[in-house]
Structure 1
Amino acid sequence: MDDSTEWTDIRRGSADDVPAVMALLDGAVEWLTARGRSGQWGTEPLSASRRLTTLVDDIAADGGLYLAVRGDTAVGAIGVGQPPAYVDPATEHELYIVLLVTDRAQAGRGIGRKLLAHARRLAVVSGAGLLRVDCYAGDDRALVRYYESQGFTATQRFTVPQGGAKWPGQVLEQRLG
């Protein structure tokens, strides 16, 4: 079946959608862990993290949460908001992606691509000429390559202390016409 015939909607999320987003994040952790890629989000369900649940709650409360849905089922989520403190501030008006997750059972159906296209439209409507995101840059940098394949350019590298280790990250940006 053609992806476009399966596609239902991208809609604004609310506090009621936070459990569905947390379930998507838990599924992503499980998928990454099964592939030996626990460096990105660890091995424990993210729904158990008060910090992350609060972050998703805050994104929803600020009006920056959007869900990709097929029927009544959330198959992806994107959040836009303020960049984290470890990212250098932009020198121009921007839209910053603070969350992107898709249902791994739906991999290859373009959900992430469609959510990123939605973020581009939101940025243009807001008058932003810049769309930025940060991501995990460890292991083989596969996530960085994914964003590059979506038209982003790698800029700032950073690390965030986590326990006794440092989490490697990469900021990427995309200029909007």
Structure 2
Amino acid sequence: MTERGSITIRPGGPADAPTVLRLFDSAIAWLVERGRPEQWGVDPVSTDTRHIARADAYAHGGGLHLAEIDGTVVGALVVGDATEHVPPATEPELYVNLLVTDRAYAGRGVGARLLAHAAELARERGLGLLRVDCFRSADRALVRFYEGCGFTATQPFTVIRPGRPPWPGQVLARRLD
């Protein structure tokens, strides 16, 4: 039995794709309200076929894990292989492909708990490196969040997107051994 209000983590599956889209839509609305549309844009992803397909791939890919509080999904984590826009690792790793939380639960440690779960998964697989990338804003707010969770900023990068502004990113790494 879990304590009321505690965070539990469960594996995700095919039925959870709409939940991932809901979390994205909520996070985008929160970012836009705070004048930070550069990270994920301004439009809900739940109506975009490209994002719907990505959420479906996450849900079917075996790397989706969901955080719940009192039975409500409040965060999603996807782990797997690094994406093509980041420099490759020099050793075997586990890569955080997605971390998104419900901002209605801000301050409850949902993101940090999901990252701790990712570290547990990496250790279970005998891996000593966990990496993630994130939006690198001028104030480095998200980079600082990951640094607060034990990651160290490594390589900055920029994704060039046709017809849209470049997306500045930051790779972060956490040693697990």
TM range (shorter): over 0.9
- C-alpha displacement at 1:127, in angstroms? 1.0
Partner Cα separation in structure 1 for residue 160 and residue 175 of structure 2: 30
- Confirm or deny: 8 A CA contact 1:39 1:139 kept in the other structure: no
For residues 9-36 of structure 1, what are the alpha-carbon distances to aligned partners after superposition, in whole Å with 9 as ceiling and x for unaligned? 2000011011011101100000000000
Partner Cα separation in structure 2 for residue 72 and residue 52 of structure 1: 25
Q: More deviation in 160-169 or 109-118?
A: 160-169
The letter of the residue matching 1:117 is A
What is the TM-score normalised by the length of structure 1?
0.94
Partner Cα separation in structure 1 for residue 156 and residue 165 of structure 2: 16
The letter of the residue matching 1:166 is P
For residues 87-139 of structure 1, what are the alpha-carbon distances to aligned partners after superposition, in whole Å with 9 as ceiling and x for unaligned? 11112110000000111000000011110110000000011110000000023
What is the TM-score normalised by the length of structure 2?
0.94
Query: Which ranges in structure 1 are unaligned for 5 or more consecutive residues?
Result: none
Instruction: Quote the RMSD (CA, aligned, Å).
Output: 1.2
For 1:66-85, list aligned pairs within 5 A: 66-85=65-84
- Confirm or deny: 8 A CA contact 1:80 1:98 kept in the other structure: yes
The match for 1:157 is 156
CA change 1:81–1:164 in 2 (3 A) is same
Query: Which ranges in structure 2 are unaligned for 5 or more consecutive residues?
Result: none
- Confirm or deny: 8 A CA contact 1:138 1:167 kept in the other structure: no
- Determine helix, strand or coil for the equivalent of 2:166: strand
The match for 1:9 is 8
Partner Cα separation in structure 1 for residue 57 and residue 80 of structure 2: 9
For 1:131-142, list aligned pairs within 5 A: 131-142=130-141
Partner Cα separation in structure 1 for residue 91 and residue 47 of structure 2: 36
CA change 1:165–1:85 in 2 (3 A) is same
CA change 1:45–1:12 in 2 (3 A) is same
Partner Cα separation in structure 2 for residue 161 and residue 48 of structure 1: 23
Give me the identity figure in percent.
54
Matched positions, count: 174
Q: More deviation in 7-16 or 122-131?
A: 7-16
The match for 1:169 is 169
